[in-house]
Chain A
Amino acid sequence: METQAFQKIYTKITAVTKATCTLQASGVGNEEMAFVDGRKAQVVKIQGTEVTLQVFTGTEGIPTNAEVVFTGKPPTLKVGEELAGRFFDAYGSPMDGGPEIEGDEREIGGPSVNPVRRMQPSDFIATGIAGIDLNNSLVTGQKIPFFADPDQPYNQVMATVALRAEADKIILGGMGLTNDDYLYFKNVFDNAGALDRIISFVNTTENPPVERLLVPDMALTAAEYFAYEKKEKVLVLLTDMTLYSDALSIVSNRMDQIPSKDSMPGSLYSDLAKIYEKAAQFPEGGSITIIAVTTLSGGDITHAVPDNTGYITEGQLFLRKDSDIGKVIVDPFRSLSRLKQLVVGKQTREDHPQVMNAAIRLYADAANAKTKLENGFDLSDYDERAMKFAKSYSEALLAIDVNINTTQMLETAWTLFAKYFTKTEVAIRQALVDTYWPENEN
């Protein structure tokens, strides 16, 4: 860190805690960045001339006579076309050995979009995964998380979605990623030859946890640059928001704030909303879509993080291992995309809404039949057929390794309907049955 001539250097720290240090300083602005003993820090509290700094890397080894220099500005990111294809740390500095970005400097965590200037999200995002496209269609400008247990392959699914979605830019915000997962993303993007449209901001488990707090804002500042100024379709991947929230609770705890539910800060809802609400469809054509990951502990969705998230995001996606086919599927019951009705049957084929609902209803019948079987009751012929259907449906459509377009998904569903059920059992509007029921099957 180079100190500039006019900058005042302070050397008298009056108090140090695990994450913060306090000193006497004047002319300091709120949320300004500073360096304490060469480490990055941010102003979190000012009382008269007493300034409290949050030191991102922790305060281990900081002496009371450490040099403190204020930069005079909040955290910023230099934006420009050169961001594409690069990997950055939580402060927006390159971590791939490449040169610094020469571009416009932007404050991160900027203001929100005026609600009356937003457009209603309306563009279907195809991912090829039927569990998403068919049952929980995504729309540009939407924000949706995967609610997943830590052992589920959510990062793989997210990488797949990112590569298949026809986005102009994909921005990865990695918070507390293990080094292995970081390398996984890097390799997948590299091998797909998609690196030139991908930008990554990564905080790995090797980095201090408090640094994570900057990652979403960095990623979204870059996203706003491409979506608003360059009018591009931007997809932002945030993994893992539970680890982000943990960092919030660490900071609030060290600042002696009174915790609310699950020892999370009382402002958790606003903190998360500020990030997720950056998802927007701009009137000029660009859009920011956010797909995030919220890891659950033991599938508990009443925990403060998934609970607050559920109230903010437009639906959620659940992954589940289906023991019948031995593959991971997108759970059709618990997953929900709140914006799907804006596109299903409108940008996809007309029979989409009805086929989607009928298939899920029949899948539910199979689940009931299964319970019956487990409880030792006899199965009816219908039950048997429903269970066979469920297995095929899982294999051909719900599994996350499926990659077909929506018309093929609908055709597959009709084929399965015709194979296992009569027209009345499927109970879809007659006009659609007349058009789409495959006649050569029984």
Chain B
Amino acid sequence: MKANDKKTNGVVTGITSNLVVVKVDGPVSQNEICFINLDKSNLMAEVIKITGDKVFVQVFESTRGLKPGAKVEFQGHMLEVTLGPGIVSRNYDGLQNDLDKMEATFLVRGEYTFPLDKDKEWEFEPLAKGGDKVVAGTWLGSVMENQINHKIMVPFKMTEQYTVKSIVAKGKYKIEDQIAEVEDEKGKTYSISMIQKWPVKQAIMAYKEKPRPFRVMETGIRAIDSLNPITEGGTGFIPGPFGCGKTVLQHALAKQAEADLIIITACGERANEVVEIFTEFPELIDPRTGRKLYERTTIVCNTSNMPVAAREASVYTGMTLAEYYRAQGLKVLLLADSTSRWAQALREMSNRLEELPGQDAFPMDLSATIANFYARAGFVYLNNGKVGSITFIGTVSPAGGNLKEPVTESTAKVARCFYALNQDRADSKRYPAIDPIDSYSKYLEYPEAQKYLAENVGEDWVDKILEAKNLLLRGKEAKEQINILGDDGVPIDYHIRFWHSELVDFVILQQDAFDDIDSSSSMERQKTMMDKVLNVCHQEFEFESFEEVNPFFKKVINSFKQMNYSEFNSEKFNNFEKELETILAERRMA
């Protein structure tokens, strides 16, 4: 950032939609924030291009009524978020304004609200002591934020090495109270409170090492855990045409994933879907902790009708909040719905800047921008040896459901898990509509992830996953042959092969997101079901003709499905299993 204490000022000279040209009287930085005075309010804007004393800024609000000559004041910093205890359970807009603090039904232009609670007292417990050597990100103390052990850290902006001069005793403090004093090597002292600021477009690097992610994260969704597992600190994306259940899948992830904190970025999507989260999450119970889901959820919401520049900021805001909690040694799951809307916001601005367009009029650097953003996720070893992670899953909304478009293609290059939603599966109500053939998880190929699965799930778990995937593929091939040659034109074996894949599909892949029991499946349960399904596929059964294959497997599937709907290992579950055994025994070859 420029070294200049005096604030730079400017006047508006040109306006095209939310792109405003400002003539400035001093130094400005790229991405610096400024406020444009309009009547009694100030509109927040960000510098996106500088040519001489002409500065192009994108305004985060509507510019209606703005006139040339309006005064502009530059702030000397980039778009920042305020980090401190009290972020969890809040509903923010894309610029981290606390939406609940806004009284009016309609959003008021130029109204900005403080994201935290300045009056709340937190029970602070010191972790560091006088004389300790500290750097940015060192844990000085902690407070309890809902069930989250929230660490108070040396601000990330402090880049030197410091010595703790003093730290307050255990007790109640407000976020702006000084909790510690540190001294740099030159003897200059700094006061530290519980809050700090950080520019959203820069990654927080307060960690020692970022290895390849290897710990598999349980999501309770079988199509993910049992076929294409994602890791803590992994990245994934979900593309799909509208009406394929993208949102339902994201909500299921938010409800069940084994994470300490969930950050949902609703980026340019429907307001009623966000309202659904607002309405449901305070009621829903987290099955792992028995507490309300919203106690571990933060929502950054910039719905499709909110200003487009703030939409671009919203994904960065979400990511920065996630990085802040990762530095505290937490497992964070960040969901963004949808990254295509973010890319479209980039396109709108690039268009107004009259930049030469790339494919589909997206900016040329779209691919790099997406790659850069995904790279901020990951699993890290902190400086104190503890671990933290950000698992990032973004949805993509490809135009016309066509995956050959720039956003999907750029995302595919960087995201390691691909959960393709398939229109045909959605139409035939096979939910979640994750295509079993096209989807993949690159983590299955990581030796360190394989080792983790072998140690934590089962010795041959990866082999079983691969076998199930192979059954699905072979089933699909058999189905194609049957369709070409007719039911009686192929050996019975083809029918059996097809029904093996249906068995995997119905029992493992398909899952009822609206059923209390089936909606979430524990790893132990998934392992058991996988074993049972593969076991059936390994057995030989006697069939006189192809017509007997279909009813037999339908019965088998029905028993399995009833098991899925029953409490694991309950009497009901066991009874259905016995029923299944009877069905199998009837046709089993000696």
Q: Are A260 and B360 in touch, CB under 8 angstroms?
A: yes
Q: Are A258 and B271 in touch, CB under 8 angstroms?
A: no
Q: Which of A29, A142, A282 is within 8 Å of B67, CB to CB?
A: A29
Given A114-B102, A116-B278, A119-B275 in contact, is the A270-B344 Cβ separation under 8 Å?
Answer: yes
**Which residues of the other chain, B, contact A74 by a CB distance below 8 angstroms?**
64-65
**Which residues of the other chain, A, contact B15 by a CB distance below 8 angstroms?**
30, 45-46
Confirm or deny: B238 has a beta carbon within 8 angstroms of a beta carbon on chain A.
Answer: no
Q: Which of A27, A47, A259 is within 8 Å of B14, CB to CB?
A: A47
Q: Are B242 and A47 in touch, CB under 8 angstroms?
A: no
Q: Are A273 and B305 in touch, CB under 8 angstroms?
A: yes
Residues 445-464 of B, flagged 1 when their CB comes within 8 A of A and 0 if not, give 00000000000000000000
Bound together, the chains give a CA A315 to CA B272 distance in angstroms of 12
Confirm or deny: A110 has a beta carbon within 8 angstroms of a beta carbon on chain B.
Answer: yes
Which one of A164-172, A305-313, A322-330 is at the interface?
Answer: A305-313
Q: Are A112 and B272 in touch, CB under 8 angstroms?
A: no
Bound together, the chains give a CA A81 to CA B271 distance in angstroms of 29
Q: Are A310 and B268 in touch, CB under 8 angstroms?
A: no
Q: Are A266 and B347 in touch, CB under 8 angstroms?
A: yes
**Which residues of the other chain, B, contact A260 by a CB distance below 8 angstroms?**
347, 360-362
Bound together, the chains give a CA A8 to CA B399 distance in angstroms of 47
Which one of B103-111, B530-538, B582-590 is at the interface?
Answer: B103-111
Q: Are B305 and A46 in touch, CB under 8 angstroms?
A: no
Confirm or deny: B68 has a beta carbon within 8 angstroms of a beta carbon on chain A.
Answer: yes
Bound together, the chains give a CA A311 to CA B247 distance in angstroms of 11
Q: Which residue of B lies closest to A122 (CB)?
A: B279
Bound together, the chains give a CA A259 to CA B360 distance in angstroms of 8
Chain B: minimal CB distance from A318 (Å): 12
Q: Are A280 and B351 in touch, CB under 8 angstroms?
A: no
Bound together, the chains give a CA A228 to CA B272 distance in angstroms of 17
Of the listed residues B66, B107, B305, B427, the one surrounded by the most CB atoms of chain A closer than 10 A to its CB is B305
Q: Which of A114, A258, A267, A333 is within 8 Å of B99, CB to CB?
A: A114
Q: Which residue of A lies closest to B514 (CB)?
A: A341
Confirm or deny: A123 has a beta carbon within 8 angstroms of a beta carbon on chain B.
Answer: no
Given A47-B14, A258-B351, A258-B357 in contact, is the A28-B67 Cβ separation under 8 Å?
Answer: yes
Q: Are B242 and A310 in touch, CB under 8 angstroms?
A: yes
Q: Which residue of A lies closest to B280 (CB)?
A: A120
Q: Which residue of B lies closest to A25 (CB)?
A: B68
**Which residues of the other chain, B, contact A259 by a CB distance below 8 angstroms?**
361
Given A110-B106, A116-B278, A120-B275 in contact, is the A46-B68 Cβ separation under 8 Å?
Answer: yes
Residues 49-90 of A, flagged 1 when their CB comes within 8 A of B and 0 if not, give 100000000000000000000000110000000000000000
**Which residues of the other chain, B, contact A312 by a CB distance below 8 angstroms?**
270, 304
Confirm or deny: B397 has a beta carbon within 8 angstroms of a beta carbon on chain A.
Answer: yes
Q: Are B66 and A29 in touch, CB under 8 angstroms?
A: yes
Q: Which of B104, B106, B308 is within 8 Å of A267, CB to CB?
A: B308
Residues 10-49 of A, flagged 1 when their CB comes within 8 A of B and 0 if not, give 0000000000000000111111100000000000111111
Confirm or deny: A99 has a beta carbon within 8 angstroms of a beta carbon on chain B.
Answer: no
Of the listed residues B63, B306, B308, B362, the one surrounded by the most CB atoms of chain A closer than 10 A to its CB is B306
Bound together, the chains give a CA A267 to CA B352 distance in angstroms of 10
Q: Are A48 and B68 in touch, CB under 8 angstroms?
A: yes
Confirm or deny: B153 has a beta carbon within 8 angstroms of a beta carbon on chain A.
Answer: no
Q: Are A120 and B243 in touch, CB under 8 angstroms?
A: no
Residues 304-323 of B, flagged 1 when their CB comes within 8 A of A and 0 if not, give 11101000000000000000
Q: Are B13 and A48 in touch, CB under 8 angstroms?
A: yes
Q: Are B67 and A30 in touch, CB under 8 angstroms?
A: yes
Given A266-B361, A302-B402, A311-B397 in contact, is the A112-B305 Cβ separation under 8 Å?
Answer: yes
Q: Which of B274, B306, B348 is within 8 Å of A112, CB to CB?
A: B306
Given A47-B21, A277-B304 in contact, is the A266-B344 Cβ separation under 8 Å?
Answer: yes
Q: Which residue of A lies closest to B106 (CB)?
A: A111
Q: Which of A31, A110, A269, A274 is within 8 Å of B344, CB to CB?
A: A269
Given A111-B109, A112-B107, A114-B106 in contact, is the A277-B270 Cβ separation under 8 Å?
Answer: yes
Chain B: minimal CB distance from A325 (Å): 24
Given A47-B21, A116-B278 in contact, is the A228-B105 Cβ separation under 8 Å?
Answer: yes
Q: Are B268 and A114 in touch, CB under 8 angstroms?
A: no
Q: Are A118 and B400 in touch, CB under 8 angstroms?
A: no
Confirm or deny: A107 has a beta carbon within 8 angstroms of a beta carbon on chain B.
Answer: yes
Q: How many residues of A contact B (CB 8 A)?
A: 64
Q: Which residue of A lies closest to B64 (CB)?
A: A31
**Which residues of the other chain, A, contact B341 by a CB distance below 8 angstroms?**
269
Q: Are A261 and B64 in touch, CB under 8 angstroms?
A: no
**Which residues of the other chain, B, contact A121 by a CB distance below 8 angstroms?**
272
Confirm or deny: B303 has a beta carbon within 8 angstroms of a beta carbon on chain A.
Answer: yes
Residues 364-385 of A, flagged 1 when their CB comes within 8 A of B and 0 if not, give 0000000000000000000000
Query: Quick one: which of B37-71 are within 8 Å of A by CB?
Result: 62-69
**Which residues of the other chain, B, contact A209 by a CB distance below 8 angstroms?**
none
Of the listed residues A48, A261, A267, the one surrounded by the most CB atoms of chain B closer than 10 A to its CB is A267
Residues 281-311 of A, flagged 1 when their CB comes within 8 A of B and 0 if not, give 0110000000000000000011110011011
Q: Which residue of B lies closest to A302 (CB)?
A: B400
Q: Are A115 and B68 in touch, CB under 8 angstroms?
A: no
Q: Which residue of A lies closest to B303 (CB)?
A: A115
Chain B: minimal CB distance from A8 (Å): 14
Bound together, the chains give a CA A268 to CA B303 distance in angstroms of 15
Confirm or deny: B179 has a beta carbon within 8 angstroms of a beta carbon on chain A.
Answer: no
Confirm or deny: A314 has a beta carbon within 8 angstroms of a beta carbon on chain B.
Answer: yes
Q: Which residue of B lies closest to A228 (CB)?
A: B105
Q: Are B65 and A113 in touch, CB under 8 angstroms?
A: no
**Which residues of the other chain, B, contact A307 by a CB distance below 8 angstroms?**
242, 399-400
Q: Are A111 and B67 in touch, CB under 8 angstroms?
A: no
Confirm or deny: B520 has a beta carbon within 8 angstroms of a beta carbon on chain A.
Answer: no
Bound together, the chains give a CA A120 to CA B360 distance in angstroms of 36
**Which residues of the other chain, A, contact B62 by a CB distance below 8 angstroms?**
111
Of the listed residues B268, B271, B301, the one surrounded by the most CB atoms of chain A closer than 10 A to its CB is B271
Q: Which residue of B lies closest to A259 (CB)?
A: B361
**Which residues of the other chain, A, contact B559 by a CB distance below 8 angstroms?**
none
Q: Are A282 and B301 in touch, CB under 8 angstroms?
A: no
Residues 228-272 of B, flagged 1 when their CB comes within 8 A of A and 0 if not, give 000000000000011100000000000000000000000010111
Chain B: minimal CB distance from A273 (Å): 3
Chain A: minimal CB distance from B445 (Å): 33
Q: Which residue of B lies closest to A31 (CB)?
A: B64
Q: Are A115 and B275 in touch, CB under 8 angstroms?
A: yes
Q: Are B66 and A310 in touch, CB under 8 angstroms?
A: no
Given A32-B65, A107-B64 in contact, is the A269-B268 Cβ separation under 8 Å?
Answer: yes
Confirm or deny: A241 has a beta carbon within 8 angstroms of a beta carbon on chain B.
Answer: no
Bound together, the chains give a CA A301 to CA B400 distance in angstroms of 7
**Which residues of the other chain, A, contact B305 by a CB distance below 8 angstroms?**
112, 270, 273-274, 276-278
Confirm or deny: A141 has a beta carbon within 8 angstroms of a beta carbon on chain B.
Answer: yes
Confirm or deny: A317 has a beta carbon within 8 angstroms of a beta carbon on chain B.
Answer: no
Q: Are B272 and A118 in touch, CB under 8 angstroms?
A: yes
**Which residues of the other chain, B, contact A117 by a CB distance below 8 angstroms?**
102, 104-105
Q: Which residue of A lies closest to B346 (CB)?
A: A266
Bound together, the chains give a CA A278 to CA B305 distance in angstroms of 8
Bound together, the chains give a CA A120 to CA B107 distance in angstroms of 18
Confirm or deny: A416 has a beta carbon within 8 angstroms of a beta carbon on chain B.
Answer: no
Q: Are A261 and B399 in touch, CB under 8 angstroms?
A: yes
Q: Which residue of A lies closest to B23 (CB)?
A: A48
Q: Which of A46, A111, A310 is within 8 Å of B243, CB to CB?
A: A310
Confirm or deny: B100 has a beta carbon within 8 angstroms of a beta carbon on chain A.
Answer: yes
Could you list 6 A-B pairs, sorted by A, with CB under 8 Å?
A: A29-B66, A109-B64, A117-B105, A142-B272, A267-B351, A277-B304
Q: What are the 4 closest A-B residue pairs judged by CB atoms, nearest first?
A: A302-B400, A273-B304, A277-B305, A260-B361
- Residues of A at the B interface (CB closer than 8 Å) are 26-32, 44-49, 73-74, 107, 109-121, 141-142, 228, 257-261, 266-267, 269-270, 273-274, 276-278, 280, 282-283, 301-304, 307-308, 310-312, 314-315, 333, 336, 338-339
Contacts A113-B107, A270-B344 given; 15 further ones with Cβ under 8 A? Answer: A27-B69, A32-B65, A45-B15, A48-B68, A111-B109, A114-B106, A115-B99, A116-B102, A118-B271, A120-B279, A121-B272, A141-B272, A261-B399, A307-B399, A310-B242
